[in-house]
Amino acid sequence: MKRMPRHDNNDDLLVTWKDIAAYLKCSVRKAQRLEAQALPVNRIPGTKSVWALKPEVDQWLASHAERTSRGDERGETEARLAAALRRFSASRGWAWALAISLTITVAATAASRYAAAIASFGLTAALGVSRCSLAARRASGARFKRALLALLMIAGMSYSAVATTLPGWIDSVVNMDVLRPALAYPFAMGLRFIPIPILIAFFWALADSNGPAFAGSSRLRTAFLGLAVLFLALSTAAGVAGAGLHRIWQAGLPIRWTLLVGESFVLAVNLVMFAGSYRFFSRSTRNFMGFGLQCGMGCLLIALTAAILGRHWNEIDRYYLDIHRPQAYRVQNVNAADDLQHWLHRGLGDGLRRGDRAVGPDLARLFNDPEFLHALQTRKFYRVDFDEAFQAADKAVIFGYKADRGIVDHRPAFVLVRFPADLAAVLRFEQTNEDH
């Protein structure tokens, strides 16, 4: 600890807060506050007395002025950038950029171009958030625009959590490239990963952009807390029971720990986002871009974890379908092979056959495979619950059977087949009570 110099003929010594404040030309209270900013003030042990040296104070003033100048320059740069973004958001350029991005999103989603759809969802959401954050806060229809943007963000987050694994799933299922997943499937199935982002988007759409969302409204705060608990509970139930994690756990498969850690991590990220959103809505909702960036990082972590989980679930259905989906089915049509060929060549009109539209090359080859035709009469099949609830046209079901061939790493693989629904009706898959 520095020792205080002698008072005698020492013009550089300041010995009280009053002297220090007078030298700084400010109030005593402000001088005391500046101590928290590294003002070189020394205290005498055992007393409340302080002292400082003028050269050290002068040096601190110079460095403080330099830091303030740099901060002002950064502030001016940020202000110029914000002004440029405001001008862009108010121009037709922003409208054209958003329209093009939204068109690409819709086209890529409709064409099942999953990577392009995910990227365009992110770009569209970024353009929309910047518009809502930088536009006039009291503009007419601002809340309606935020509501539309909230729906877009929810759709994009949900889609991204599931769509990353669909290409691998399509490659592993026979005829899946022809009868592709229902358009609504990734949007619906990804919701379980993002309960808190859904809640954040909903309350952001409702909030007053000029102040705290919970200001003066205990009911709104209570609703936020109650919905958070409800959404988290539903999400956890969907992950444990709905996805079949409990069956994997009961069977003792080694992959169960990876699945449990992944589901727990998704829950933990949602809890962190809940804590951050509660603090955000309790204060001011003005700086949504900063908070939105944090939420975006959280959603990215969730999407990456969901992709890992999805790949593991696909692997489970390939090797342990009878454990994951234990209900067995058998083909009850004793003339399955003949009726299959008859169905395949039945006319649809306009010179088309039924199989031309609903049967891909891989399924056509399978129809001529003696092992598959034998399996129709002798093997147990297991149904994969996939997108049946979301199908509008080209209805289909997925059944799998354990193959004699196709053993990988000493594990017999299941052959998963995407059957057109009317072909499945011809084959007459019916449940059986046999143990697998």
- Indicate the fold that domain 13-77 takes in CATH: Arc Repressor Mutant, subunit A (1.10.10)
The residue ranges of every structural domain in the chain are 13-77, 91-319, 328-432
Positions in the chain short of pLDDT 50: 136-140, 347-353, 407-408
Q: How far apart are CA 102 and CA 117, in angstroms?
A: 10
pLDDT at 219: 83
How far is it, in rounded angstroms, from Cα 24 to Cα 37?
Answer: 14
Q: pLDDT at position 417, please?
A: 93
| Pairing assessment for the beta strands 42-43 and 173-174 based on DSSP bridges | unpaired
> Which DSSP category does 242 fall into?
I
205-242 per-residue burial string, b: 16 or more CB within 10 A, e: under 16: bebebeebbbbeeeebbeebeebbeebbeebbebbeee
Instruction: Determine what percent of the chain falls in helix, strand and coil, rounding each to the nearest 5.
Output: 65, 10, 25
Q: Rg of the chain's alpha carbons, rounded to an integer?
A: 32
* CA 254/CA 108 separation, integer angstroms: 37
Structure confidence at residue 121 (pLDDT) = 83
Q: What DSSP string runs through 251-288?
A: HT-TTHHHHHHHHHHHHHHHHHHHHHHHHHHHS-SS-H
| End-to-end CA gap in the chain | 79
pLDDT score recorded for residue 131: 64
CA 235, chain centre distance (Å) = 13
What pLDDT, on the 0 to 100 scale, is given for residue 105?
Answer: 85
Give the whole-angstrom CA distance, residue 348 versus residue 421: 16
d(CA 196, CA 233) in angstroms, rounded, equals 11
pLDDT for the residue numbered 382: 94
Q: What is the pLDDT of residue 192?
A: 93
Alpha carbon distance 266, 278 (integer Å)? 18
- The answer to whether the CB of 374 falls within 8 A of the CB of 348 is no
CA 214-144-138 angle, 5° bins: 70
Give the per-residue pLDDT at 212: 59
pLDDT tens string 136-170: 444 445 677 778 888 888 998 999 999 999 999 99
The amino acid that residue 87 corresponds to is R
What is the predicted pLDDT for the residue at 215?
Answer: 62
Cα–Cα distance, 331 to 404 (Å, whole number): 18
- What are 331's strand-pairing partners? 429
Residue 172's alpha-carbon distances to 76, 112, 424, in angstroms, are 55, 16, 19
Backbone angles phi, psi at 236, to 5 degrees: -65, -45
Distance (Å, whole) CA 360 – CA 419: 11
> How far apart (Å, rounded) are the C-alpha atoms in residues 387 and 152?
22
User: The pTM is what?
Assistant: 0.70
Whole-Å CA distances, 244 to 258, 299, 321:
14, 24, 11
pLDDT for 210 equals 55
Residue whose pair of structure tokens reads 């959280």 in the numeric block: 298
DSSP codes, 221-239: HHHHHHHHHHHHHHHHHII
Q: Which of 319, 324, 430 is nearest to 381 (CA)?
A: 430
For every residue of 20-41, DSSP letters joined together read HHHHHTS-HHHHHHHGGGT---
In this structure, are residues 5 and 52 in contact, taking their beta carbons and an 8 Å threshold? no
Is the distance from CB of 134 to CB of 82 less than 8 angstroms?
Answer: yes
Helix ranges, 91-113 (H): 92-110
**How open is the CA angle 313-166-430, to the nearest 5 degrees?**
65
Degrees to nearest 5, angle at CA 339 with 333 and 341: 140
